[in-house]
């Protein structure tokens, strides 16, 4: 048993649920995952999903182990949202201008690049760690885990819960993409591009 009456299994189950619930809401990362899986296949979507899950795990670690030290930086880091907004606008404009209806299959190097880029893009949303903090307090898990093991279990559960959602979304997108004609894929990218631009503008102005 851990402190505060939570055993490891209960803590892990709660962390799984937190990771899943944080990943499900529709946003720019979800749109990017779906767009890539629709146009390039499930593996391309999972590169995005694993990047987002990794960032969620990092923020879970901050919330579990170092929330007090990180809170002032996070609260004042408006520049992170601006940087993320600029990246989203760039992605959107690239998608809108894209004309190749049948893009080349992505390489391993391409997947790694998308993964690392998604980690950075997801990390530009400082509100995520504050959400983690609110959830931890609301569930009575306390801002800092009672032990190192508690914190590691929490971080691992959040990562796996988030990854599970991205696997489902990528799988659905991959299956749907197999049935889309080239023209539909082209318009999917353009519509997604317009949405990315809108998300980016909102991130900069908010």
In whole angstroms, give the CA distance from residue 64 to residue 58.
Answer: 10
Q: How many helices (H) and strands (E) does the chain have?
A: 9, 0
Question: What's the per-residue H, E or C state across 49-94?
Answer: HHHHHHHHHHHHHHHHHCHHHHHHHHHHCHHHHHHHHHHHHHHHHH
Model pLDDT for residues 84-115, shown as the tens digit of each residue = 778 778 878 887 876 665 566 778 888 999 99
In whole angstroms, give the CA distance from residue 103 to residue 87.
Answer: 21
The DSSP string of 26-44 is -SHHHHHHHHHHHHH-HHH
Q: Give the pLDDT score at 144.
A: 46
DSSP 157: H
- Alpha-carbon torsion 62, 63, 65, 67, what sign? positive
Report angle CA 185, 190, 194 to the nearest 5 degrees: 145
**Percentage of the chain lying above the pLDDT 70 cut:** 70
Model pLDDT for residues 133-181, shown as the tens digit of each residue = 666 666 666 544 567 888 888 899 999 999 999 999 999 999 987 777 7
Of residues 202, 205, 175, 206, the one with CA closest to residue 92: 202
Q: Burial of 9 by CB count in 10 Å (0-12 exposed, 13-18 middle, 19+ buried)?
A: exposed
Q: Give the pLDDT score at 115.
A: 95
In whole angstroms, give the CA distance from residue 199 to residue 1.
Answer: 44
Q: Which residue has the higher pLDDT, 171 or 10?
A: 171
Q: Give the pLDDT score at 2.
A: 47
């Amino acid at each position: 048993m851990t402190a505060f009456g939570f055993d490891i299994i209960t803590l892990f189950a709660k962390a799984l649920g937190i990771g899943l619930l944080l990943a499900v809401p529709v946003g720019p990362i979800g749109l990017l995952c779906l767009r890539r899986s629709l146009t390039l296949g499930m593996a391309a979507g999972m590169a995005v999903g694993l990047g987002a899950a990794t960032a969620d795990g990092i923020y879970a670690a901050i919330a579990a182990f170092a929330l007090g030290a990180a809170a002032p930086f996070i609260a004042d880091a408006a520049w992170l949202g601006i940087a993320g907004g600029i990246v989203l606008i760039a992605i959107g404009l690239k998608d809108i201008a894209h004309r190749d209806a049948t893009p080349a299959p992505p390489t391993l190097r391409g997947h790694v690049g998308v993964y690392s880029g998604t980690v950075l893009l997801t990390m530009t949303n400082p509100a995520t760690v504050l959400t983690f903090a609110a959830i931890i307090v609301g569930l009575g898990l306390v801002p800092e885990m009672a032990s190192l093991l508690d914190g590691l279990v929490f971080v691992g559960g959040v990562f796996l819960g988030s990854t599970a959602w991205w696997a489902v979304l990528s799988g659905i997108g991959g299956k749907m993409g197999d049935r889309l004609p080239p023209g539909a894929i082209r318009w999917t990218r353009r519509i997604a591009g317009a949405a990315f631009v809108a998300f980016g503008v909102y991130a900069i102005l908010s």
